[in-house]
Amino acid sequence: MAGRPSQRLRGKITPGEVNLLPVMNLIAILLPVLLMSVAFVKFTIIKIQLPEVTSAKEVTQEDVSPTPEPDPNKPSLTVIVRQDGFQFLSNINPPAELKEQVAAMHELIELSEEKDLEGKSVLVDGRPYKTYDYQALNERLIQFKELQWPLTDKPETMFVPFENVPNINIYPMPEIKYEVIIGVLDAARTYPQADKYLFPTPILVGRIYTGELGKAER
Amino acid sequence: MAFAASKRKRITLHRRPPQLLKITSLVDLMTILLCFLLQAYSYTEFRVLPSQDIHLPTSINTKYPVESIQLVVSKSAVLVEGKLVTRVVSVEGDQGEPVYDIEEVDKKNTLLIPKLKAELTRQANIIRNARETTGRSGDFSGTVTIQAHDQIPYRLLVKILFTTGQSEFGDIRFMAYRRD
């Protein structure tokens, strides 16, 4: 003999509604708390490095240059932020066949004209509006980072001068605005091809060395 | 034959049973809202002073701010931990644009701002004393976060950096709006 159908099958017990009121109470309390602490604007920090001398003890302007004297054995690269663009200085000494390419890498990156959505130049007071080309700066710094040539005594080994160099000197001219400096710092650190920083700790300098090493130029 | 139902009974018989309020869709909405708010939830250990005189630049960097001394350089003043230290003056540039600088600098060393150095040294002593009192381990890190107006020239900024470096604060961080 077949078993007696259950009460549920006979339709005596109907599935009840889930009581959502406690959940609603909880959400009603959580919502204002979270709304109070929500961050619509997010902040970030950029760690910068100063030349060693500025964190030393009492010094005067006369007896100190804020830029440490570069070691001629270590590759160094300086980006001068001028009002007309970015200029590059380095102490690398490439072989003769690369001299032309390296010289081209030191050429000034001029300001670029701002374009609108249709590709036309944006005009301000009848003149094209020009801004700093951070993209070009980043690409140029990547070129420096990836520059390599074979060693003279071991031609099978490639010498990559900036491979393990963590910092570059950034020298903004006195009239350069803070927002441009932040843009340059971003460009100096971004390395899209690799999952790491390009030059992790850029150094902001006040004076630079040009030409002969050891001679400071303000 | 049965009697006709009373008026009250007729009304009761025809009345619809009370409907339960359907809140399932409302709960769905609240859950989505809750997830969004939890994602945007932020607990910050630092203070940002909202002011018309300061507009931070934007950066693609993703590091979060940390607890440190807050140094604000606005269009009109330099503040350390919300306390006014010195004034920023504005003069008209060659093309009519405002150029910001600090008047009160050291006579011998034009990069040094004496009032800022005094205040930062005071703050360093406060932190050091607090660490000794509470017995917290670790040395004084000398971390300072600079919130500067995006139009401040490097001429002014280098004075701030130099003075900060001279006042035991060697770990300097710039604060900016994060651009995703």
Query: Looking at chain B from residue 8 to 67, which residues have their Cβ under 8 Å from any Cβ of chain A?
Result: 20, 23-24, 26-27, 30-31, 33-34, 37-38, 40-44, 46, 48, 56-66
Map residue B88 onto helix, strand or coil: strand
* Candidates B37, B66, B150; nearest CB to A38: B37
Residues A171, B161: Cα–Cα separation, whole Å? 13
Length of chain B, please? 180
Q: Pairing relation of β-strands B171-178 and A77-82?
A: unpaired
What are the residues whose beta carbons fall under 8 Å from the beta carbon of B122, sequence distance 6 or more? none
Q: Which is higher by pLDDT, B108 or B161? A: B161
Q: Among candidates A114, A72, A107, A73, which has minimal Cα distance to A211? A: A72
* pTM higher than the cut 0.95: no
pLDDT band at A154 (very low <50, low <70, confident <90, very high): confident
pLDDT of residue B64: 78
Per-residue b or e along B45-60, where b marks 16 or more CB atoms closer than 10 Å to that residue's CB? ebebeeeeebebbbbb
- Which tops the pLDDT comparison, A7 or A93? A93
The better pLDDT of the pair A144, B38 is held by A144
The ipTM estimated for the assembled molecules is: 0.76
Mean pLDDT of chain A: 78
B45 — pLDDT class (breaks 50, 70, 90): low
The 10s digit of each residue's pLDDT in A183-209 is 999 999 888 876 788 888 888 887 544
pLDDT for res B166: 85
pLDDT (average), residues A110-119: 85
Give me B70's structure tokens.
Answer: 């807050």
Is A42 exposed, middle or buried, given 0-12, 13-18 or 19+ CB atoms closer than 10 A? middle
Whether A179 contacts chain B with CB within 8 A: yes
Reported confidence tier of residue A118, pLDDT bands at 50, 70, 90: confident
Q: Residue A120: pLDDT above 70?
A: yes
How far is residue B4's CA from residue A209's CA, in Å, rounded to a whole number?
A: 112
Judged by a CB distance cut-off of 8 A, whether residue B149 touches chain A is yes
Average pLDDT, integer, range A153-160: 80
The chain B residue lying nearest A177, using CA atoms, is: B153
Which helix or strand (DSSP H or E) is residue A81 part of?
A: strand A77-82
A217 or A38: whose pLDDT is higher? A38
- In tens, the pLDDT along B90-146 reads 877 777 777 888 877 776 777 888 899 999 999 988 888 888 887 766 677 788 999
CB-based contact (8 Å) between A167 and chain B?
no
The predicted structure's pLDDT at residue A61: 44
Across A66-95, average pLDDT: 79
